[in-house]
A and B are shown apart, each in its own frame.
Chain A
Amino acid sequence: MTDVLKIENLHVSVDEKPILNGVNLQLKRGETHALMGPNGSGKSTLGFAIMGHPKYEVTEGRILLNDVDVTEMEADERARLGLFMAFQRPIAIPGVRLADFLRHATTNVRNPERKEGEDLIPMREFRKEIKEKMSQLQMDTEFARRYVNDGFSGGEMKRAEILQLAMLQPKFAILDETDSGLDADAVRLASQSIAQIGGEEMGLLIITHHDKLLEHNPPSHAHVMLGGRIVESGGVELAHELHSNGYERIRKAYPDAAAMERAMQDEEQTV
């Protein structure tokens, strides 16, 4: 059976302010979906809600992974079930070496039943693997000794996220604007790496404004988000259309969602 991630009628609030207003989405392992939409339409919110950030409160609807309801689960439980999110702006954790962190993470994700205090995956095995993955990503192995995201450049952060993706091999990965802040070469490297890692093994939800990332990861599906819901879905041609023509057609076609978008933006300005 193919793994399926299903989002049903998802409503999400942050600090009691509604952001998502009924999102429906189904993603199968092996598929690549592009999630597009103007700023503030709720794309990242959807990512955080799927991953289980405590600030993002699901007020209605649910998230299912292979028919298991994960809506109320902690982020770590979701990760161990095979969910992953590459963050747009990952936070720094001073004093914690990337390798140490990744060894814990890899152990837990591969052995979801592991109890605290039980052995981590053997150092030799882990080292060998992380070395391989880093060389694939053209990363200096010294990088693994640095503190997680501490003093990383934008490009380094994104590559560290992709390294984690490569090590954890999730069933489903959300990539939240992994291309933002990168120059053309870096985007090419990132998108090639993702294609190489993901291949046909993962379900990818790629959140992006642009289609650069999509060149190497041609989406099987594309979705447009506006005013906190997905208003239109299609194939790769929809992604290209939005990239070339912007969101004017969408706003006109879905006046309700456009009105909601304006209302949310107005509220943001008054805060």
Chain B
Amino acid sequence: MATDITDTGVQSPIGEINKYDFRTTSKGVFKAKKGLNAEVVNQISDIKEEPDWMRKFRLDSLEIFNSKPMPKWGGEINLDFQDIYYYLKPTEKQGKTWDDVPIEIKETFEKLGIPEAERQYLAGVKAQFESEVVYGSLQEDLAQKGVIFTDTDTALREHPQLLKEYFGTVIPPHDNKFAALNSAVWSGGSFIYVPPGVEIEFPLQTYFRINEESMGQFERTLIIVDEGAKIHYVEGCTAPMYSSESLHSAVVEVIAKKGSRCRYSTIQNWANNIYNLVTKRALAYADATMEWVDGNLGSHLTMKYPAVYLMEPGARGEILSIAFAGKHQHQDTGAKLVHCAPNTSGQIISKSISKDGGRGSYRGLVRVEEGAHNTKCSVVCDALILDPESQTDTYPYIEIMEPDVAIGHEASVSRIGEEQLFYLMSRGLTEAEASTMIVNGFIEPLVKELPMEYAVELNRLIELQMEGSVG
């Protein structure tokens, strides 16, 4: 939380804030009381002046959250849910100053060579007028094609029928404890609707509005790609993400309708004290292709397993996941592919790197439901360990209810090889350069899937993570 906001309990929200217009400069800041209960949830709904169905959805979700045990699938979570603020009116940037930005994040900006003004913006400190212009013109072009691209709160006001139809249908609140939590207190996130047959060639990015929407603690993203449409969405950016809260728990729902194609790419670098517990799932219908490209750096514990449910024949799901676990970090990441229909196919490629005692785990599920015959799926997970203190585990779950399927699973673990290091060093590369090169080579399959600027930044981020790791 920003340092200049004191916890004075519940303030009267209405009238204090500049209603709805999240983009204007509002002096008012509202912060809910610490802890989670119906009162807090009601307040959130009040402030957003939400329709009754959403209020009910939130309150029901709260009950589900309270009744659900902690998930058994994943890493170890030590969180006091009553010691967290669940809602801050997203004018928090007013309360943030450059001084509040953690030192290591500032250093990263500096090393990445990001200009001063952009640093402040990316850190969520600076208002975003310049970017608004870019974002605005982009919006106009998309709007002409009937594309909706906005934050989820705005979408709920402006496109209630779409929200009502799809919200919570891919990941219902009772899916898991953190999905229930997000459903109760969600705020922000992206909403995208692409009408039938519309193909957007350039990637849609939330880069331009990172401070408001993506910095949220419990953002909620919903993407609907209608029949035959095509989109590449890039969320966040490779710049470091930080939160003064200990918990980030987002929900991302994607619906890829018949014959559509959706790629969702994200690379996130969280502050090291964050529990990053995210549920991401897509439904892919007949002949649709859904691709997740998911990169995770930073955080204390990340649990993230992007999923594709292959709902109808011909659907395809591809998940490329990469994690870098450093000191005191556990990256529990992987993917899920659920074949619910015949003639569906999927591929999981998961890569983890661990160093300085970090722990990377692959946790993945491949399930072939009854009737989903003639399905094909391959899983490749590779782990690279940079030093003897670091650790890697693999937890592949495979559940198959049909006999005529083709499932492949390959796993490999390698230590950064003495022979590889020697080979590169014998050509004049320093040990640090050689290790970085080996690591960058290891993640190359992911990097080449990213838009250029992200690929470059990911490589630079990895280089930063590698700094001082050897010699």
Q: How far is the CA of A108 from the CA of B442 in the complex (A)?
A: 23
**In the complex, which range does the number of interface residues on chain B fall in?**
20 to 34
A91 touches B431 (CB 8 A): no
Partner-binding segment picked from B2-10, B115-123, B390-398, B420-428: B420-428
Partner-binding segment picked from A48-56, A217-225, A234-242: A48-56
B403 at the interface (CB under 8 A from A): no
A93 touches B427 (CB 8 A): no
A95 touches B445 (CB 8 A): yes
A14 at the interface (CB under 8 A from B): no
Q: A91-B419, A95-B445 are in contact. Are A52 and B426 (CB under 8 A)?
A: yes
Say how far A83's CB is from chain B's closest CB, in angstroms. 8
A79 touches B426 (CB 8 A): yes
B423 touches A93 (CB 8 A): yes
Partner-binding segment picked from B57-65, B201-209, B355-363, B432-440: B432-440
- What residues of chain B lie closer than 8 Å to A108, measured between beta carbons? 427-430, 433
Besides A75-B426, A93-B441, A95-B444, 13 more A-B contacts (Cβ < 8 Å) are A76-B426, A76-B428, A79-B427, A91-B419, A91-B423, A93-B424, A95-B445, A96-B438, A96-B441, A101-B429, A105-B427, A108-B427, A168-B428
B51 at the interface (CB under 8 A from A): no
B420 touches A76 (CB 8 A): no
Q: A91-B420, A93-B420 are in contact. Are A101 and B427 (CB under 8 A)?
A: yes
- Give the nearest-CB partner of A89 in chain B: B419
Q: How far is the CA of A94 from the CA of B380 in the complex (A)?
A: 15
- Give the nearest-CB partner of A83 in chain B: B426
B426 touches A85 (CB 8 A): yes
B429 touches A105 (CB 8 A): yes
A109 at the interface (CB under 8 A from B): yes
Say how far B438's CB is from chain A's closest CB, in angstroms. 6
- What residues of chain A lie closer than 8 Å to B423, measured between beta carbons? 87, 90-91, 93
Q: A93-B438, A95-B445 are in contact. Are A74 and B417 (CB under 8 A)?
A: no
A residues adjacent to B (C-beta < 8 A): 51-55, 74-76, 78-80, 84-85, 87, 90-91, 93-96, 100-102, 104-105, 108-109, 112, 116, 147, 164, 168
A51 touches B426 (CB 8 A): yes
- What residues of chain B lie closer than 8 Å to A101, measured between beta carbons? 424, 427, 429, 437
B425 touches A79 (CB 8 A): yes
- Give the nearest-CB partner of B442 in chain A: A95
Q: How far is the CA of A170 from the CA of B426 in the complex (A)?
A: 11
A95 touches B440 (CB 8 A): yes
Q: How far is the CA of A144 from the CA of B97 in the complex (A)?
A: 48
- What residues of chain A lie closer than 8 Å to B432, measured between beta carbons? 116
The 9 closest A-B pairs by CB, nearest first: A95-B441, A95-B444, A96-B441, A108-B428, A79-B428, A105-B427, A75-B425, A76-B425, A109-B428
- What residues of chain A lie closer than 8 Å to B99, measured between beta carbons? none
- Give the nearest-CB partner of B382 in chain A: A94
B interface secondary structure, majority: helix
- What residues of chain B lie closer than 8 Å to A54, measured between beta carbons? 418, 422
Q: How far is the CA of A52 from the CA of B443 in the complex (A)?
A: 29
- What residues of chain B lie closer than 8 Å to A74, measured between beta carbons? 425, 431
Q: How far is the CA of A109 from the CA of B433 in the complex (A)?
A: 13
Q: How far is the CA of A1 from the CA of B420 in the complex (A)?
A: 35
- What residues of chain B lie closer than 8 Å to A147, measured between beta carbons? 441, 444
- Give the nearest-CB partner of B427 in chain A: A105
Say how far B98's CB is from chain A's closest CB, in angstroms. 26
In chain B, positions 174-189 with a C-beta closer than 8 Å to chain A are none
- Give the nearest-CB partner of B419 in chain A: A91
Q: How far is the CA of A77 from the CA of B135 in the complex (A)?
A: 51
Q: How far is the CA of A55 from the CA of B261 in the complex (A)?
A: 51
- Give the nearest-CB partner of A90 in chain B: B423
- What residues of chain B lie closer than 8 Å to A87, measured between beta carbons? 423
- What residues of chain A lie closer than 8 Å to B429, measured between beta carbons? 76, 101, 104-105, 108
- Give the nearest-CB partner of A92 in chain B: B420
In chain B, positions 379-426 with a C-beta closer than 8 Å to chain A are 417-420, 422-426
- What residues of chain A lie closer than 8 Å to B441, measured between beta carbons? 93-96, 147
Q: How far is the CA of A257 from the CA of B425 in the complex (A)?
A: 33
B433 touches A116 (CB 8 A): yes
B443 touches A95 (CB 8 A): yes
Q: How far is the CA of A85 from the CA of B433 in the complex (A)?
A: 19
Q: How far is the CA of A85 from the CA of B431 in the complex (A)?
A: 17
- Give the nearest-CB partner of A111 in chain B: B428
- What residues of chain A lie closer than 8 Å to B419, measured between beta carbons? 91
- Give the nearest-CB partner of A86 in chain B: B426
A93 touches B422 (CB 8 A): no
Q: How far is the CA of A109 from the CA of B427 in the complex (A)?
A: 8
Say how far B211's CB is from chain A's closest CB, in angstroms. 30
Q: How far is the CA of A87 from the CA of B438 in the complex (A)?
A: 19
- What residues of chain B lie closer than 8 Å to A75, measured between beta carbons? 422, 425-426
* A and B contact pairs by CB, cutoff 8 A, 29 listed: A54-B418, A55-B418, A74-B425, A75-B422, A75-B426, A76-B425, A76-B428, A76-B430, A76-B434, A78-B426, A79-B426, A84-B426, A87-B423, A93-B423, A93-B441, A94-B444, A95-B441, A95-B445, A96-B437, A96-B438, A96-B440, A96-B444, A100-B437, A105-B427, A108-B430, A108-B433, A109-B427, A112-B428, A147-B444
- What residues of chain B lie closer than 8 Å to A84, measured between beta carbons? 426-427
Q: How far is the CA of A17 from the CA of B430 in the complex (A)?
A: 28
